[in-house]
Amino acid sequence: MTPLAPPLTPTADEARRQLEEELAKPEYLDPGSRLSQLWEDFLRWLLGGNTGPSTTSPTTVWVVVAVVLVLALLVALAVAGPLRPERLKRKNQALFDGDERDSATIRADAEALAQASRWPEAIAMRFRAVIRSLSEAGLLQESRGMTAREAAEQASWKVERSRELLEAAALFDQVAYGRRAGSEAQYRWISDLDAALNGVSA
């Protein structure tokens, strides 16, 4: 039995010619038809591995596309995490949001609002005066986007009546963002807290 001859390695010219012949086939000349064929092959695999001629209807195609998009969205949410309400509102809940006034000025504005019986705004403004005073005394470090709760928690380790400070932060959130009506009694209470923490007149 005559042994088989080893395969011959084509020369550079032969390899180029074979490549040109392969690329001259119709499926390579029309990129659109090639992509369409790949898409149909994918659909057949996804719908059960049918290897016969494509009979996929346009409706089925759109259903598959919708399913793929939904799956992609679920994966994105799993990676990025859910958009919690507190994350969406955080930007609007910044305590100062660029307000550079000193505590005395903020406190005076709060008193003016109280004189006008604008209690929700007066309460919110007086709490800002409390926090700015604590910041001026070096009892907390202000940061961009800091919320009332964050400020109160940071300062609560260094002041007396820390529980009331946390309650005042909760009251601030209620009147500033929860659209709850404040009262004169609540304003007087937070003014007393301001006086106790910062040694100012109530």
Whether 37 has a pLDDT exceeding 90, the answer reads: no
Number of domains in the chain: 2
Q: Do 68 and 165 sit in the same domain of this protein? A: no
* Within-domain flag for 59: yes
pLDDT at 79: 62
Does a structural domain hold residue 1?
no
Expressed as residue numbers, the domain containing 71 is 14-80
Confidence of residue 23 (pLDDT cuts 50, 70, 90): low
Q: What digits encode the pLDDT tens for the residues 150-169?
A: 989 998 888 888 899 999 99
98-115 confidence digits (pLDDT tens) = 778 899 999 999 999 999
CB 18 within 8 A of CB 9: no
Say if residue 116 is in the same domain as residue 20. no
86 falls within a domain: no
Question: What value does the mean pLDDT take over residues 20-38?
Answer: 60
pLDDT score recorded for residue 84: 47
Residues 120 and 42 in one domain: no
Q: Are 153 and 92 in contact (CB under 8 A)?
A: no
- 49-64: string of b/e by CB count within 10 Å (b at 16+)? eeeeeeeeeeeeeeeb
Per-residue H/E/C for the chain: CCCCCCCCCCCHHHHHHHHHHHHCCHHHHCHHHHHHHHHHHHHHHHCCCCCCCCCCCHHHHHHHHHHHHHHHHHHHHHHHCCCCHHHHHHHHHCCCCCCCCCHHHHHHHHHHHHHCCCHHHHHHHHHHHHHHHHHHCCCCCCCCCCCHHHHHHHHCCCCCCHHHHHHHHHHHHHHHCCCCCCCHHHHHHHHHHHHHHHCCCC
* Mean pLDDT of all residues in 110-132: 94
pLDDT at 14 over 90: no
Residues 115 and 191 in one domain: yes
Assess whether 98 and 171 both reside in one domain.
yes
| 7 lies in some domain | no
For residue 125, the model assigns a pLDDT of 93
Q: Is 51 a domain residue?
A: yes
